[in-house]
Amino acid sequence: EAQVTQNPRYLITVTGKKLTVTCSQNMNHEYMSWYRQDPGLGLRQIYYSMNVEVTDKGDVPEGYKVSRKEKRNFPLILESPSPNQTSLYFCASRWQGANIQYFGAGTRLSVL
C-alpha cells in the first residue's frame, strides 16, 4: 500500500529537549515536504526536499532542521524545541511528474 508514515503520532516534550519526527514514504517520490498546521493559519511549509541531499527552506523554517540522506526518509529535527513549536505536523511526498501530494497522518507535538 502506498503511504507516507510519520512517527510518532503524538509527542509531549519539554523546552530544549531535542527531538526528531520521522517520515518515510514507500512510493519512490522525489519531492518531500514538512508542514505545520496551526488554528487560523492553515498549513505552512517548513522545509522541502527535491531529492537526496537537496533540501531548502519553506515559509517557516526557524527552529527546524531536516536531512535527506535516503530517498524514502525525510526526518524533521527540533534541536531545542520551544512552546511556539506546539503544532500539528504533516509530512508529504510527491512524484516529480505528478500533481498529487500524499500526506502522512500527522504528528501532534506539544512543547511544555
Partner 1 sequence: AQTVTQSQPEMSVQEAETVTLSCTYDTSESDYYLFWYKQPPSRQMILVIRQEAYKQQNATENRFSVNFQKAAKSFSLKISDSQLGDAAMYFCAYRSPTGTASKLTFGTGTRLQVTL
End-to-end CA distance of the chain: 36
> Binding to partner 1 (CB under 8 A): which residues in 69-88?
88
Helix (H) or strand (E) segment spanning residue 69: none
Alpha carbon 68 to chain centroid, angstroms: 11
Q: Is 7 in the site for partner 1 (CB under 8 A)?
A: no
Return the C-alpha cell found at 77. 529535527
Minimum CB separation of residue 24 from partner 1 in Å reads: 17
Judged by the rule CB under 8 A, the positions of this chain that interact with partner 1 are: 31-33, 35, 40-45, 48, 50, 56, 58-59, 88, 90, 92, 94, 96, 99-101, 103, 105-106, 108
